[in-house]
């Protein structure tokens, strides 16, 4: 079982609705969906471009223009049969376009071209080969991104003395429980004080449980699983957040969790001892 499977089912209404909007944008340019998506996901595009470029990207940078074009390309190319969600697919397209951009910017005066002058003609003859190579590249790229994020996630867990094997054992069996824990994790991660108290306190205090609106025994029982969810929210793990149906361009609490609001929604989700 993978780290993603342990954390949740990875299937939700918002993701399906987004993919339907993308398909509508492809089928009907007059629908306005393409322009709406480009506007709504501007912060996502900036964040992903910044992550790939390893520096802060603004609307005035060429990298943003290229990333925006990559997102637009992803809208055009996405297919329902894709093994990944639309946002994961868009991430890969943006990364590929920015990588190509930086390669073009490099000055190699005496480099022998890897592509022969008649490449365009050959490409039209060998479309099937080109398409297959593109798919293989995409799968390798996605696998590498996932591997990197799982490694980062494993390191984050280790700061709190948690192993992936511990997480497998601690994962709730029932989907409703996992969804409830995710809602509680979202509230904890959105409040810096709650997050630090939850992650660093040796024992869960009754006063903290009352603030969250959840029974102390419930928090104690699911502490490993909740810690893992909070780390997904505060670490730079966009693909894992996408898998869980969370906003890919945000970090709960706004800070990274280092080892050592009000709980209105969780109060409704967390019974006396769920």
Closest CA to 72 of 46, 116, 128, 34: 34
Cβ-count burial 87-119 (b if 16+ within 10 Å, e if not) = bbbbbbbbbbbbeebeeeeeeeeeeeeeeeeee
Are residues 162 and 265 both part of a single domain?
A: yes
Give the N- to C-terminal CA distance of the chain in Å, as an integer: 25
The contacts of residue 271 (CB under 8 Å, 6+ apart) are 215, 218
Report helix angle 33-40 to 13-27, nearest 10: 130
Neighbours of 80 (CB within 10 A): 9
Q: What domain range is 72 assigned to? A: 3-105
- The answer to whether residue 125 sits within a structural domain is no
Give the torsion sign (CA, 13, 19, 22, 24). Answer: negative
Distance CA 215, CA 234 (A): 24
Q: Tell me, yes or no, whether 16 and 101 share the same domain.
A: yes
- Tell me which of 68, 83, 105 is where a domain ends: 105
- Of 105, 130, 149, at which residue does a domain stop? 105
Q: Output the pLDDT for position 80.
A: 82
Which positions ≥6 away from 203 have C-beta within 8 Å? none
Q: How far apart are CA 10 and CA 17, in angstroms?
A: 14
95 and 166 co-located in one domain: no
Name 170's Cβ contacts closer than 8 Å, sequence gap at least 6: 222, 224, 225
Contact 234, 192 (CB under 8 A): no
Report which secondary-structure segment, H or E, holds 157: helix 127-158
How confident is the prediction along the chain (274 residues), in pLDDT tens digits per residue? 556 556 665 556 777 888 899 999 999 999 999 999 999 999 889 988 888 888 899 999 999 999 999 999 999 999 887 767 888 888 888 988 888 888 877 654 344 444 444 444 444 444 454 445 455 655 666 677 778 888 888 999 999 999 988 988 888 888 888 888 988 999 998 888 998 888 888 788 888 888 888 888 989 999 999 999 999 888 877 778 777 776 655 444 444 455 544 444 444 446 544 4
Between CA 244 and CA 7 the distance in angstroms is 8
Domain boundary among 75, 90, 105: 105
pTM of the model: 0.56
Are the C-beta atoms of residues 242 and 85 closer than 8 Å to each other? yes
Is 259 inside any structural domain? yes
Looking at the fold, whether 248 and 169 belong to one and the same domain comes out as yes
CATH code where residue 79 lies? 1.10.1740.10
Query: Is 140 within a domain?
Result: no
| Number of compact structural domains in the chain | 2
> What is the pLDDT at residue 214?
87
């Amino acid at each position: 079982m993978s780290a993603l499977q342990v954390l949740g089912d990875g299937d939700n209404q918002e993701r399906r609705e987004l993919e339907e909007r993308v398909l509508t944008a492809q089928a009907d340019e007059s629908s306005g969906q393409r322009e709406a998506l480009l506007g709504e996901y501007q912060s996502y595009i900036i964040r992903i471009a910044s992550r790939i470029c390893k520096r802060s990207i603004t609307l005035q940078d060429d990298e943003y223009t290229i990333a925006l074009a990559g997102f637009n390309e992803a809208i055009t190319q996405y297919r329902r049969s894709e093994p990944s969600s639309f946002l994961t697919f868009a991430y890969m397209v943006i990364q590929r376009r920015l990588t190509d951009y930086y390669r073009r910017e490099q000055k190699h005066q005496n480099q022998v071209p890897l592509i022969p002058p008649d490449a365009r003609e050959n490409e039209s003859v060998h479309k099937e080969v080109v398409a297959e190579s593109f798919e293989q590249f995409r799968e390798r790229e996605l696998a590498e991104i996932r591997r990197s994020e799982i490694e980062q996630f494993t390191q984050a867990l280790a700061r709190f003395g948690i192993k992936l094997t511990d997480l497998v054992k601690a994962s709730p069996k029932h989907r409703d429980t996992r969804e409830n824990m995710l809602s509680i994790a979202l509230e904890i991660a959105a409040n810096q004080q709650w997050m630090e108290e939850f992650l660093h306190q040796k024992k869960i205090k009754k006063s903290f449980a009352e603030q969250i609106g959840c029974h102390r025994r419930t928090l104690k029982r699911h502490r490993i699983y909740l810690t893992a969810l909070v780390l997904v929210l505060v670490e730079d793990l966009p693909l894992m957040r996408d898998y869980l149906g969370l906003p890919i361009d945000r970090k709960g609490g706004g800070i990274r969790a280092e080892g050592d609001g009000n709980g209105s929604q969780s109060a409704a989700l967390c019974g006396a001892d769920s």
